[in-house]
Amino acid sequence: MDLANKVAAMAKRTLPVSGVFDELIRGIGESKSKSEEDAIVGKLIELSKQKIREGRREPRSQKELLVYLIYIEMLGHDTAWAQATAIQLCSDKNLAVKKLAYLTVSLLLDPASELSIMVVATIQADLRSDNFLTVCTALSAICHIASPELVSVFLPQVTALLRHDRDLVKKRALLAMQRFIQVDPGVAPDLERHLIDKIGYKEPSVMIASLCGLRELIRRDPAPYRNLVHYFTNILKQAAEGKLGRAYEYHRAPAPFVQLELLRLLGLLGAGDRASSENMYAVLAEVKRRAEPLGNNIGNALVYECIKTLTTIHPSPVLVAGAAESVSRFLGARENNLKYAGIDALTRLVLIDPKHAQDHQLAVVDCLRSPDVTLKRKTLQLLYKMAGPSNIEVIAAEVLVFLREGGDEVARGDAARSLCDLAERYAPDHRWFVDTMNELFEAAGEVVPASLADNLTRLIAEGTGEEDEGADRELRAGAVEAYLELLDRPKLPHVLLKVICWVVGEYGCLSALSTDSVMDKLAAIPETQASDDEVRGWAVSALGKLAAQSGRALTSDASALVSSAAAAESVQLQQRALEVQALLGMSAATQRAALPYDAAAEDVGVDADLPFLDSFVQQALQNGAAPHLSLDDRTAMGMTRDDGGGLGPLPHASALKFQAYATAPAPQPRPAMPPPAPAAAAAAGGMDGPSDLDVGGLSLSQPAGGAAAPAPAIAAMPAAQNSAPAAALPSAGGPQLILNKPGRKWGGPAVAAEPSPRSGGASSSVSSPAQPYATSGSASHSAAASPSPAAAPPPAVDAAKQRLAASLFGGGGSTSTAPGLRGRRSPAKPAGASKPAVAAPDLLGGMDVSAEAGAAAPAGAAAPPTASDMDLLMGLGASVPSTATASNTAAPLLDPMAALAGLGGMQQQQRQQQQQQQPGLVALADLMGNGAAVAAGPNMQQQAGAGLGFGDFLADTAPRQQPSQQQQPAAPLMGGPSKAPPAAKKDPFADLLG
């Protein structure tokens, strides 16, 4: 084993080795499993503790101890017990031990740890040392342990050391300064001068250290340092000419890492500044000219960095043209590293001028088909930048292919988000959007944001935003058909099931199938798909809606599902099922009133003053009831606690266990609610806080609450219904489809930035790609379907690839050049394979949108406002008049649909009154909370029970404790007798109401 001998000899040379040390390190190297390794680490720990106890002072023993500690830490074990010893050894007289101790401390200690302060005194002493090596050691230690508090402690000494005679010390001092700026940017003004002073220093390593420090400053704010450009260009020129000396040469390139650093600095300084940029052009061209012939990795790295720089600064047409040539060289290379750099560089070039993508269509498609995930991901990022109305279908198809392949969660999440963003911006029509989103949910349901499902349901509920009922109907019917078909497939992701249940429940009657078979399909969901309580709840709600709207009874399967849900353990699910059962037992008129067809996007007016109850209240008062006191009054009178826990000094309050239920989490993800208005809070006052109104996912008609979102925002005044666009407020919540504005369907920021987004030109370019979709879509499908891309591509694949390329790259260039370019790029392929005819329909307007975005970017302009920003602005603007109109009463934060569902039993009420009734519940709750014994009729009590109980207590998802009471959901919550007579079920709140 000469290797082992050599190693042993080497080890002896660098470290005085004891037999034990040798054996242990070797053991670590040879250990094959984690347990073996842990056993050795255990020995190391034992040995180290023994050494610490002995406290031997000879250097060899101390160094061994420190190396053990590094190993113990590196292999993932705790070293807190030895940190003090390591700190102590920093003040050892032996320089080697000191250096090693500093190293150990830097590895063992978190810089934020208090213990690092203990090294401060030692470092300060070492900085004063006569031995420059000790000083260097201390300076490097500063880099590791510096924290914001310590900067001012070290700063004077470090600054003074810049005048040390040794270059090594100067360099280390500059690096310590860089660290200071990193941890505490506030010191930058003090250090700036010292760093600039050293740019021209004759010793390259000192100069490089000053560049590192300056980079920290320039990264934070380049503007004050633009006058340094000519220094940097000078140094860069010298470095490129090899004037830093042969020692800095690496693989025939002169000081390449210094060049890279300077190129980056120039990029930072030239961005958005034309004058500085122009001063760089000459030297950039020179660096690139010298790097190109090297032909090796480092040469390519330099060229790549040049491209990065010249695409960051104000562009020079000549340089950009040169960069485009280098990009073709990279993309044509065999090595994937170069292709990666090529794609990245191309992404940058496309931002300057989209035409560059034209020249590399096939190469880009190749990278897209590569089995190398890194390369593929990078290429997708290029496609996102290239996306426009003309190629969105193809790009979306590509992203979906990537998502179906599986892989990294982060990568899939990014891709899914980007696809959502692009689809919302460039979707040619609603139908396409719905289809794409369905596919996205199916391919990557676990990584898509939940808000997307809400967007989709809202889109379907609100329709096209134009007053075209026929188109809306078609869209919905199409969606319903698609979803019913999807249900035949196994294992759909949750988020998709949610959307399906909602849409089929809401619009199931549009299906070509009979309502009964639609119901059966819904009822089968828990069996064929997931069967957890959430999904069953969605299905039950959907069935309820479907039955109520169509006026038909549940099918036997469906009613079996509902009854089983009514006996479920989950209180929430049980709640839903019982509501559905109760509602379906009522007259058809009530059912339709409670769950009207296609009303998810309708406004619901709410009058928080509840005038319709006036006579009732009056009567109660005449019968001797105590008058209502507002929450403020009660608080003032000391009748109510402010902690939101109880309903005031009710004698039986504790029996109701309000505390436990009040703190339970909301049972379901819900759309963002608008902030509570003061009036609403007051209206809700009786319930001790708005959280009590949080009826969560209990709404009978809403599985997702997506389309319900608009409703809560509607102000109480009927006038507001007309003036406030639905969803004006909720749209502020998150990324949105731009659907609310009549007359405008789609459009990205670039399109929206045009002075007249609704002009004929824009709308035609948006709507026309619908037809090309058929051809390009099929092209991409055939390309996607082609087998292993790694295999030698038969001509058919080439044809598919070219078609894909054609549909991807679409327009931008003139149609006459496109086929020619393709021909040139693929001389080996059969000429007939390229089919410009397929590409032709796609070519319209191709890159227009990205062209505008690209033109804006290099000018240093901020990114154009995103679609959601625009939407937010418009939404907020629209909401102003509505709140102004609803001057005296703001909307209570009830989910109106839930409230309506709760009111299902009120047969005698008129339809328009129903809309006003939900605050009635609030008022009732308020009254009850007040402890006022209102002598309400049994009917009213039942309503109150439905409203209050369903809306509040039953929202809790806490599992039921007593299975024997499953038929009496309210009983345990009421704290009533466990064997309540059946009568109590009818009127469970009698207790509460006294």
Partner 1 sequence: MLPCNPLIAAQLWISPDGTGLQLLTGLRRAGAVLPTLVQQQHRRIVGSPAPMIEFVLLVNKQGQTRVAKYTDSSLTTDERRALEAEIVRKCLTRVDKQCNIVEHRRYKVVYRRYASLFFLMGIDAEENELGTLEMIHCMVETLDKWFSNVCELDIMFSLDTTHHILDEMIANGCIVETNKGAALTPVQLLERAG
Q: Which is nearer to partner 1, 75 or 162 (CB)?
A: 75
DSSP secondary structure string for all residues of 847-896: THHHHHHHHHTTTTPPPPPPHHHHHHHHHHHHHHHHHHHS-S-PPP---H
Residue in 458, 456, 462, 398 with CA at minimum distance from that of residue 432: 456
CA dihedral 26, 27, 29, 33 (to 10 degrees): 170
Classify 250 as helix, strand or coil: strand
Q: Which is nearer to partner 1, 67 or 161 (CB)?
A: 67
Q: Which is nearer to partner 1, 59 or 645 (CB)?
A: 59
Please tell me the distance from the alpha carbon of residue 290 to that of residue 162, in angstroms, as a whole number. 35
Q: Which is nearer to partner 1, 378 or 576 (CB)?
A: 378
Q: Which is nearer to partner 1, 90 or 893 (CB)?
A: 90
Q: Which two tokens stand for residue 542?
A: 């959907």
Label each residue of 436-489 as H, E or C. HHHHHHHHHCCCCCCHHHHHHHHHHHHCCCCCCHHHHHHHHHHHHHHHHHHCCC
DSSP one-letter code for 665: P
Say if residues 478 and 502 touch (Cβ distance below 8 Å): no
* CA 516 to centroid of chain Cα atoms: 40
Say if residues 102 and 137 touch (Cβ distance below 8 Å): yes
φ/ψ of 250, rounded to 5, equals: -140, 115
Q: For the beta carbon of residue 53, count every other beta carbon within 10 angstroms.
A: 8
Q: Which is nearer to partner 1, 32 or 491 (CB)?
A: 32
Say if residues 34 and 76 touch (Cβ distance below 8 Å): no
| Min separation Cβ 423 and partner 1, Å | 23
| Min separation Cβ 9 and partner 1, Å | 10
Say if residues 67 and 89 touch (Cβ distance below 8 Å): no
Q: Which is nearer to partner 1, 105 or 357 (CB)?
A: 105
| Min separation Cβ 803 and partner 1, Å | 27
The H or E element that residue 923 is part of is helix 911-930
> Of how many residues is the chain composed?
994
Please tell me the distance from the alpha carbon of residue 117 to that of residue 120, in angstroms, as a whole number. 5
CA dihedral 464, 468, 471, 475 (to 10 degrees): 40
CB-count exposure of residue 979 (10 Å: 0-12, 13-18, 19+): exposed
DSSP secondary structure string for all residues of 947-964: IIIIHTGGG--PPPS-GG
Q: Which is nearer to partner 1, 183 or 681 (CB)?
A: 183
Q: Which is nearer to partner 1, 147 or 464 (CB)?
A: 147
Please tell me the distance from the alpha carbon of residue 681 to that of residue 694, in angstroms, as a whole number. 12
* CA 608 to centroid of chain Cα atoms: 38
Q: Which is nearer to partner 1, 228 or 543 (CB)?
A: 228
Q: Which two tokens stand for residue 592?
A: 């339709």
Q: Which is nearer to partner 1, 17 or 513 (CB)?
A: 17
| Min separation Cβ 459 and partner 1, Å | 32
| Min separation Cβ 862 and partner 1, Å | 19
| Min separation Cβ 219 and partner 1, Å | 5
Q: Hey, which bits of 577-675 come out as E strands?
A: none
Please tell me the distance from the alpha carbon of residue 315 to that of residue 854, in angstroms, as a whole number. 12
Q: Which is nearer to partner 1, 83 or 786 (CB)?
A: 83
Q: Which two tokens stand for residue 27?
A: 């053991």
Q: Which two tokens stand for residue 665?
A: 């989490």
Q: Which two tokens stand for residue 22?
A: 């040798």
Q: Which is nearer to partner 1, 112 or 223 (CB)?
A: 112
| Min separation Cβ 308 and partner 1, Å | 7
CA distances for 314 relative to 320, 605, 847, angstroms: 10, 56, 22
Residue in 257, 350, 340 with CA at minimum distance from that of residue 302: 257
Q: Which is nearer to partner 1, 185 or 644 (CB)?
A: 185
Say if residues 273 and 286 touch (Cβ distance below 8 Å): no
Please tell me the distance from the alpha carbon of residue 181 to that of residue 201, in angstroms, as a whole number. 21
Say if residues 656 and 931 touch (Cβ distance below 8 Å): no
DSSP one-letter code for 127: H
Q: Which is nearer to partner 1, 128 or 985 (CB)?
A: 128
Residue in 311, 301, 360 with CA at minimum distance from that of residue 332: 360
Residue in 367, 277, 365, 355 with CA at minimum distance from that of residue 321: 355
| Min separation Cβ 132 and partner 1, Å | 9
CA distances for 671 relative to 461, 681, 696, angstroms: 15, 19, 10
Please tell me the distance from the alpha carbon of residue 726 to that of residue 265, in angstroms, as a whole number. 50
- What amino acid is encoded at 115 in this protein? L
Q: Which is nearer to partner 1, 308 or 803 (CB)?
A: 308
Q: Which is nearer to partner 1, 131 or 913 (CB)?
A: 131
Q: Which is nearer to partner 1, 112 or 862 (CB)?
A: 112
| Min separation Cβ 113 and partner 1, Å | 8
| Min separation Cβ 320 and partner 1, Å | 19
